[in-house]
Amino acid sequence: MQKIICLLAGLMILTGCQGVGYSSEAYNQKLSGWLGKTADELYAVWGTPEQMFPLGDNAVEVSYYSSESQPVDNVFEPYASEISYDAMTQQTFGLPTPPPLYYCKTSFTVSNGIVTDYTFNGDDCY
């Protein structure tokens, strides 16, 4: 009986985690739709990249950045169940503490005019 109760409790905990609205998997699914699209289609939706890095062999990595002083939908820990890191702190030297900055860097690899890969990094990727 005790094993059944532990099993049910574990299942309830796992089910509760599914309600998180932001996850790296959701953003992965959003970005995976760009694989196989042309660079022109990417630029039409995402705009001009903030950074372009040539990779050679007709390939380039294009990057987009976003930053906000408030997280998306005021969810301060959108990936709390997926990543863990200590926030960096800076001395303020008696000045007011600056507001936090939430960011996302999304990069696409474009080879011969076609999106072939993507990566993202940050705490506010949606």
In order of 16, 23, 41, 52, the CA distances from 75 in angstroms are 17, 12, 31, 31
Domains and CATH numbers, the chain: 22-122 (3.30.1450)
pTM of the shown model = 0.61
| pLDDT tens digits for range 8-65 | 444 444 333 343 445 678 888 999 999 999 999 999 999 999 999 999 889 999 999 9
What's the pLDDT score for residue 54? 95
Residues 62/120, Cβ–Cβ less than 8 Å: no
